[in-house]
Structure 1
Amino acid sequence: MAWKTEIDSTKAKKIGSDGRLTCAGAERTLARLNGWLGDFAQARAWDLNFTSADGSDETNLVVTNGQRDSSIVGCVMSRAYLSKKTDKIDAVAGRVEGLPIQELLVRVDTLEANVGRIGNFEYGDSLSGFVAHMEGRVNELDSSQKTLLEMINDMSGDFRATLDVVWNEIVDVNIRLSLTMRAMANQVPVGGTVPVTKVKVPEPKPFCVVRDAKALENFIFDLEQYFKVTNTVTKEAKVTLTTMYVYEDAKLWWRSRYMDIQEGRCTIDTWDVLKKELRSQFFPENVEILA
């Protein structure tokens, strides 16, 4: 079969390096196939017509030979199908013609590989960055903790030093106070004044209302001496202390005067004023009036 050998040879020439049939090769192969089938049909006394009466693309096949070979009929039908698709093949060929298909495929494969590597790199870079960030934060926390511990240690040392200084000052004050107390206990009285701590001072006798000016003056004198011995110097203290040593009718009188003081009707806030009040109330002539 010379025609089959030529088909195989032509097919081999029209297949590209990527294993696909090129558009130009398909068109030329279809033209050759039409010629071969025509010659074969004449040799077998067949009548082949690929155009219908109404001009449509439907294939009209008439086989006049009494002997029908199913394989040849299949080949003829394939040729008819390819003939109808010629226009579409031409259109596609016009669009694809001149495109570097193999180069585009290589570029697509390279792009896919690059995308995969970039995705892996971005994921790895993000993870590495996160790990580095966390390590940095941990290092910062460690540094802050160390700084805080150092500050606490320094403050503790300063506190201990301050406490030692205060304690030494307290000890020194206690020593000075002890020495001062000893010096005061051993010193010699000056001007005949006897230290109060060494002598028991008798309290003045209470004053009652009597018809005796001498008794009142002695009461006032005893209180003045008592003030000197006990070192009572404030006016309020002298008034309060004197009123504690009045009894009976004198106490009743002082209570009434105290109410007058509280209500603002009179003022007795010094020792001199109190002495004047006592003399005016408890001298003999005044005592008789009071009685």
Structure 2
Amino acid sequence: MVNTAAGGNVLSLAPKVDVLKPSPFMGKREAKAVDSFLWEMEQYFKGIGIVDDQGKINTALVYLKDTAGLWWRCNTKEIERGTCLMNTWADCVREIKKQFYLENAEEEARLRLRKIRHADFIKDYIEEYTSIILEIPDLTEKYLLFNFLAGLKLGLE
């Protein structure tokens, strides 16, 4: 209930918003897949109001399937033995990345960025370029622009 200036009470209802559920993470060993899963989970937590670490961990674990689900089942034994700590959401994120990020994911993304070339449609080039740069955290705007322009096909052929 909210008091109005006139002294009356008005029932205040927050609009109901449907929150899109995250896609399950199957355990693909690719930085983009891991980052997408973690980003979707963060958005889901915000949307449904989960703020505590244990709630985040418990919710995220429901979305681990196939290889990722098998990894989690094995990981629970390590947690019970005390050889793996997972008390916070940050711990959970660290463990997921440790398991499913390729060791040289950033280097591979940098190599793909150097090799990417505009071939047919500019839209496809932009989409692929954007996808690659999301895997490299510390690129400068100047470097991004230079690399983007270097990969463009010049003139009409």
Q: TM-score range by the shorter chain?
A: 0.5 to 0.7
For 1:2-41, what aligned pairs fall within 5 Å after superposition?
none
Please state how far the C-alpha of 1:265 moved relative to its aligned partner: 2.2
Tell me the amino acid that sits aligned with residue 228 of structure 1: K
Tell me the amino acid that sits aligned with residue 27 of structure 2: V
Instruction: Determine which structure has the larger helix proportion and give its number.
Output: 1
TM-score of the superposition, structure 1-length normalised?
Answer: 0.31
**Superimposed CA distance per residue, residues 36-58 of structure 1 (whole angstroms, 9 cap, x where no aligned partner):** xxxxxxxxxxxxxxxxxxxxxxx
Distance 2:73 2:29 in 1: 21
Instruction: From 23, 39, 47, give the equivalent of 1:229.
Output: 47
Q: Is the CA contact 1:207–1:250 (under 8 Å) kept in the aligned structure 2?
A: yes
SS in 1 for 2:11: helix
Greater Rg by CA: 1
Instruction: From 225, 238, 249, give the equivalent of 2:67.
Output: 249
Decide whether aligned partners of structure 1 residues 227 and 204 sit closer, same or farther in structure 2, where only a CA change above 3 A counts. same
Query: Given the alignment of the two structures, is residue 184 of structure 1 paired with residue 12 of structure 2, yes or no?
Result: yes
Q: What is the match of residue 277 of structure 1?
A: 95
Distance 2:48 2:10 in 1: 21
Q: Is the CA contact 1:280–1:286 (under 8 Å) kept in the aligned structure 2?
A: no
Q: Which has the higher contact order (CA 8 A, sep 6+)?
A: 2
For 1:60-209, what aligned pairs fall within 5 Å after superposition?
183-185=11-13, 195=14, 198-209=16-27
Tell me the amino acid that sits aligned with residue 184 of structure 1: S
SS in 1 for 2:41: helix
Decide whether aligned partners of structure 1 residues 182 and 253 sit closer, same or farther in structure 2, where only a CA change above 3 A counts. farther
Q: Give the fraction of aligned pairs with identical amino acids, expressed as a percent.
A: 35
Q: What is the match of residue 142 of structure 2?
A: none
Distance 1:270 1:284 in 2: 23
Query: Given the alignment of the two structures, is residue 261 of structure 1 paired with residue 89 of structure 2, yes or no?
Result: no
Distance 1:247 1:184 in 2: 40
Decide whether aligned partners of structure 1 residues 257 and 238 sit closer, same or farther in structure 2, where only a CA change above 3 A counts. same
Please state how far the C-alpha of 1:286 moved relative to its aligned partner: 8.3
Q: What is the match of residue 23 of structure 1?
A: none
Distance 1:184 1:222 in 2: 30
Query: Given the alignment of the two structures, is residue 215 of structure 1 paired with residue 23 of structure 2, yes or no?
Result: no
SS in 2 for 1:284: coil
Q: What is the match of residue 148 of structure 2?
A: none
Structure 1 residue runs without a partner (length 5+): 1-175, 186-194
Distance 1:279 1:200 in 2: 29
TM-score of the superposition, structure 2-length normalised?
Answer: 0.56
SS in 2 for 1:203: coil
Q: Is the CA contact 1:204–1:219 (under 8 Å) kept in the aligned structure 2?
A: yes
Extract structure 1 runs of 4+ deviating beyond 4 A: none
